[in-house]
Amino acid sequence: MLEIKNLHAKVEDQPILRGIDLTVNPGEVHAIMGPNGSGKSTLSHVLAGRDDYEITEGSVSYKGEDLLEMEPEERAAHGLFLAFQYPIEIPGVATMTFLKTAVNSQRKLRGEDELATPDFMKLVREKADQLKVSQDMLRRSVNVGFSGGEKKRAEILQMAVLDPTLCVLDETDSGLDIDALRVVADGVNALRGPDRGMVIITHYQRLLNYIVPDHVHVLSAGKIVRSGGKELALELEESGYAAYEADAA
């Protein structure tokens, strides 16, 4: 469903991605690991359509369409979801309102009718219970005053409600204690399915104990320098990234 070919991107003349190749098929979970500054977050932002980056070469096709031609909201409506490393605060906008606006904006873009409020509420309550997101949290402003764990749970809740086909999780484990990590991982695992692809970006192998990937890739200096199965993550845990940093340099 996702095919990245020779993707190059730079920000303010500084090349960050230097030729990424990656194919994600439905049902697959890919982990992208790498040291700080290797371009992991850039990749997630480029996929979601953040316009601070200039694509200088390469292509990204998503469900047979040119992803790079789409506006961020169109990508979202086509089923691409990015769980943010640092979820953004929107004061005064209740999480429930935000979710409803997002769901209906996406439906509108896809030419579907808006979801009736009772149906929507039912959907959210059900997903919220699974993720231990309280009614109180749903009433609070988006991410305002949320703890690190609450923010990440709210991200996964949004993911569950929006029901995407491609989930990109950017350092979802950062700032989580072990209990919160488990709740988030359970939430993500519940969303695994034959029609959904996932790209999990992480610095640490820890998350991958809970969300077991099908493929692991090592990103260094803007390139995927090694790919393998889930055992690659364990190997990295032992040896660290030093070898790859040397490679890239």
Partner 1 sequence: MAAVQETVEQVKGLAVEQYKYGFFTDIESEKAPKGLNEDIVKFISAKKGEPEWMLEWRLDAYRRWRNLDEPSWAKVKYPPVDFDDLYYYSAPKRADDGPLSLDEVDPELLRTYEKLGIPLREQEVLAGVQGAKVAVDAVFDSVSVVTTFKEELAKSGVIFCPISEAVQTHPELVQKYLGSVVPVTDNFYATLNSAVFSDGSFVYIPEGVRCPMELSTYFRINESQTGQFERTLIIADKGSYVSYLEGCTAPMRDENQLHAAVVELIAHDDAEIKYSTVQNWYPGDAEGVGGIYNFVTKRGDCRGKNSKISWTQVETGSAITWKYPSCILRGDNSRGEFYSIAISNGHQQIDSGTKMIHLGKNTSSRIISKGVSAGKSSNTYRGLVSAHRRASGARNHTQCDSLLIGQTCSAHTVPYIESKNSTAKFEHEATTSKIGDDQLFYCRQRGLNEEEAVALIVNGFCKEVLQQLPMEFAVEAQALVGISLEGSVG
Residues forming the site for partner 1 (CB under 8 A) = 48-52, 71-73, 75-77, 81-82, 84, 87-93, 97-98, 101-103, 105-106, 109, 141, 158, 162
Please tell me the distance from the alpha carbon of residue 55 to that of residue 168, in angstroms, as a whole number.
19
Select 91 or 118, whichever has its Cβ closest to partner 1.
Answer: 91
CB of 106 to partner 1, least distance (A): 4
Q: What angle do CA 101, 102, 105 make, to 5 degrees?
A: 80
CB of 66 to partner 1, least distance (A): 18
Select 133 or 221, whichever has its Cβ closest to partner 1.
Answer: 133
Select 34 or 49, whichever has its Cβ closest to partner 1.
Answer: 49
User: Can you spell out the DSSP letters for 186-248?
Assistant: HHHHHT--TT-EEEEEESSSHHHHHS--SEEEEEETTEEEEEE-THHHHHHHHH-SHHHHHHH
Please tell me the distance from the alpha carbon of residue 175 to that of residue 1, in angstroms, as a whole number.
31
Q: Are 171 and 194 in contact (CB under 8 A)?
A: no
CB of 80 to partner 1, least distance (A): 8
CB of 125 to partner 1, least distance (A): 19
Select 81 or 241, whichever has its Cβ closest to partner 1.
Answer: 81
Q: What angle do CA 242, 246, 249 make, to 5 degrees?
A: 140
Q: Are 159 and 124 in contact (CB under 8 A)?
A: no
Q: Are 217 and 30 in contact (CB under 8 A)?
A: yes
Select 86 or 235, whichever has its Cβ closest to partner 1.
Answer: 86
Q: Can you list the alpha helix ranges (DSSP code H) found in the chain?
A: 40-48, 72-77, 95-109, 117-130, 135-139, 148-162, 178-190, 206-210, 231-239, 242-248
CB of 105 to partner 1, least distance (A): 4
CB of 217 to partner 1, least distance (A): 23
Select 9 or 236, whichever has its Cβ closest to partner 1.
Answer: 9
